[in-house]
Amino acid sequence: MTEVKENIQQTVTENDVVLFMKGTKEMPQCGFSSRVAGVLNYMGVNFKDVNVLADDGLRQGIKEFSDWPTIPQLYVKGEFVGGCDIITEMTLSGELDTMFEQNGVAFDKDAAEKIREANG
């Protein structure tokens, strides 16, 4: 399990935004992963997707690494942000925009506004 955690640490360190998800950003394999990947894709965020379904050790390892029981899991600049419900709330409140801005992560602010308008 140590090797899995080292790989996770390396992935979140080397990439500004990482989404551990079921499936890929092009083909999510669950609704929650689809929602978070959809938000990031729509907002034009460049993110690394990691398919936990491809490796049972990784699927369990990410839960232990973050001490968070569910997938998807979003990391920004090496920090765990949250899962689907938290990312949805942060998107709708504008907190996700602020986090991206503070961390120098490029995103489409107009797209973020459109998400809020559509869900307002």
Q: What is the pLDDT of residues 54-106, one digit of tens each?
A: 999 999 999 999 999 999 999 999 999 999 999 999 999 999 999 999 999 99
Confidence of residue 120 (pLDDT cuts 50, 70, 90): confident
Domain ranges of the chain: 2-118
84 annotated ligand-binding residue: no
- Output the DSSP codes for the chain: -HHHHHHHHHHHHH-SEEEEESB-SSSBSSHHHHHHHHHHHHTT---EEEEGGG-HHHHHHHHHHHT--SS-EEEETTEEEE-HHHHHHHHHHTHHHHHHHHTT----HHHHHHHHHHT-
Model pTM score:
0.96
Q: What is the pLDDT of residue 63?
A: 95
User: Encoding tokens for residue 66?
Assistant: 């973050």
Tell me if the domain spanning 2-118 has CATH number 3.30.70.260: no
